[in-house]
Each structure stands twice: as C-alpha cells, then as structure tokens.
Amino acid sequence: MSYLNKEKRDIRKPLLEAYYRFPRRELLDQQMEHVVTDYFTKLDIGKPFEARGLIVTGESRSGKTKEVNSVVEKFNAEGVKLPSGMPARFVECTLSGMLSWKDLGIEVLEALGTPMRAQRTQSHIWNEVEKQARLQGVIGIHFDECQHMFTETGKTTNAKVLDGFKSLCKHKRWPFVLILSGVPDLATFVNPYVQLKELLFPVHFEKIGGLDDLEEMNNLCFAYGEKGDVDFAPLGTKDFCERLAFACGNRWGLVIELVIEALTLCKMDGHKDISISYFEKAFAQKSGLSLGFSPFSVDDYREAFSEAQLLKLLLDDEE
C-alpha cells in the first residue's frame, strides 16, 4: 500500500489551485494600487519619503492570507521597474509566535534568501535587511499572522515593535511598503500608535452574513463544482448555503476547505452530482464527530451546535 493516493491527488490538485475572486478583493486591489502608486510617485520625485502600507484583518480562516498572497503574487509578476531597471517585488514572512525585533530581522533575511546567524547584533541584522532589499529590488514586506508580535501585557515591547514598523516605512535610504495581516486584535494594537496607523490603509474581511453572502456562497460552490467536473445543482438551495455557513462558523476559508473535501469524496466515488451526504462525511472527517451528527444532518442544527463549539472542532491551529 502506498500512502500517496494518486487518484485523490489528481482530483484535489485543480481544486486547491483554484482561486475564487470575492467582491472584497476589489477594496484590497484599490488599496494596493494606492500604496504602490504613491511609492513610485515619491520615488520619481527623488527626495526622502514615507512609504504607505496596508493593515488587513479578519477572523481566522476568513481567507485573508490567500487574498493577500494573491495580491503580492500579482504585483511580483508585473515586474514594475525601479529606477535601477530592477523589477520591484515583495517578500512574505509568516509569524508563528512572539518574536523580538532582532528575531524578526532574521526572519526577513530568511525571506530574502540571505540567512544570518543570531549572534549578530540587532543593528547589523536590520542594516543587512536594508542592504539585501536594495540589491534585490524588494520594496515591500508582508508580515502574516502579525498579531503574534504583540501581547496584552507587553506594552513596552509592543511600543518597540510598532516603532520598528514605523521606521521601516520611513527608512531614509530604502522605505518599505508594509502589509500587516492578522486577526482583528492586530488593529487594536496598531491603531493607538497614531504615527503608524496613519501610514497604513485598513482592509477588513467580514464574516459570512446576509442574503448577499449566501448568494456569493452559492456561486462559489458552483464554481468549485465546475473545477471538479461535479454538478452542484442538487445543493443549490438557500437551506444548504445556510447550513454550510453555520457549519463553518461563517468563515469563508473554512467553507472553501469543506467544499473541496466534499467534492473530492464525490469524485472518488465516481459520481458527477453532489449530494448532502458528501458534506456530512467531509464534516465528520474534519470535526471528529460521528457521521450523521452535523449541521448538514440535524434538523434543529442551530440549537444542537454553537459557533464556538464548531470553530473549536474545525480550527486545527489558531492565528
């Protein structure tokens, strides 16, 4: 027996590669266009300037990371030229825990492809960040899961980090466009620090709610069904979309994950039409609950489950 199921791999690959464009992407694109245009306009003037940036927030599994990554990939693919003729680009750092400002510099150097030993001084590390960024044409950094840089009790440390981010935006030789993304708590740490807040344009991703979002979810399901060559018509109902949203704690990212799992199970069975049973199975696999006990199979599901309970079951890691 091989642990690599080639049939499943081939089914999942186009589904995992798929990108569904939400209406919320419009605001993210507009804000990104603004900060990039602002950067290159000031660069053309030739005087020291402050770079603007973005702060992107949303609940865990709301899909913000994929959206920001897509924006960064699009910019990097454009190959916008710096005065030196080098294409400008962004690098990305995902933060998995609390870091000192020195440790953050080491993470950035890793993203730049120039790792450095921790024995170096903080000043040396960040000078190297600036040097390597200039040499490589890196004008921006996306710090994902950025809330990990802050704590409720570490006011002094928080202030140093916020001041560090501000200094990167205002660097005299090489200002950086920063994209800080994370859960809503991130904004509560950043907003009181006015000097940084004024440099960052906010983008917030809301949870699923309202009829418009249910219609959007229906479109998403049919789009993924088309990618997987599965007909979603049997589940094209308001009731199903409400159950799907509830089962996923009203998080778009979780909805996409569950749709992919259900479509995979359907295809593995050789079926061309989706049915609710595949969502029951996918939910059972992901949550660990017994098959038949889920928002897809219980009539009074809103009384049987709570959003907090479902999220605890479905989130295998916290942002």
Q: How far apart are CA 121 and CA 118, in angstroms?
A: 8
Range of the domain at 310: 208-314
Q: Among 205, 221, 239, identify where a domain stops.
A: 205
For residue 218, give both structure tokens: 């229906």
For residue 305, give both structure tokens: 């489950």
Q: Three-state DSSP class for 230?
A: coil
User: Does 197 lie in the same domain as 84?
Assistant: yes
Q: What is the pLDDT of residues 108-155, one digit of tens each?
A: 999 999 998 888 999 999 999 999 999 999 999 999 999 999 988 888
Per the structure, the count of domains in the chain is 2
Query: 247 with 295: CB under 8 angstroms?
Result: yes
Query: 301 with 46: CB under 8 angstroms?
Result: no
Residue 73 in this model has a pLDDT that exceeds 80: yes
User: Does 224 lie in the same domain as 198?
Assistant: no
The reported pTM is 0.91
Q: Among 205, 239, 274, identify where a domain stops.
A: 205
User: Does 175 lie in the same domain as 35?
Assistant: yes
**Is residue 3 in a domain?**
no
Strand-strand pairing, 177-182 and 53-58 = parallel
Q: Among 147, 177, 205, identify where a domain stops.
A: 205
Strands in 200-205's sheet, in edge-to-edge order, are 89-94, 138-144, 177-182, 53-58, 200-205
Residue 119's pLDDT is what? 85
> What's the per-residue H, E or C state across 264-310?
HHHHHCCCCECCHHHHHHHHHHHHCCCCCCCCCCCCCHHHHCCHHHH
**Is residue 178 in a domain?**
yes
**Is residue 71 in a domain?**
yes
Q: What is the pLDDT of residues 270-306, one digit of tens each?
A: 999 999 999 999 999 999 999 999 999 999 999 999 9
Q: How far apart are CA 191 and CA 173, in angstroms?
A: 26
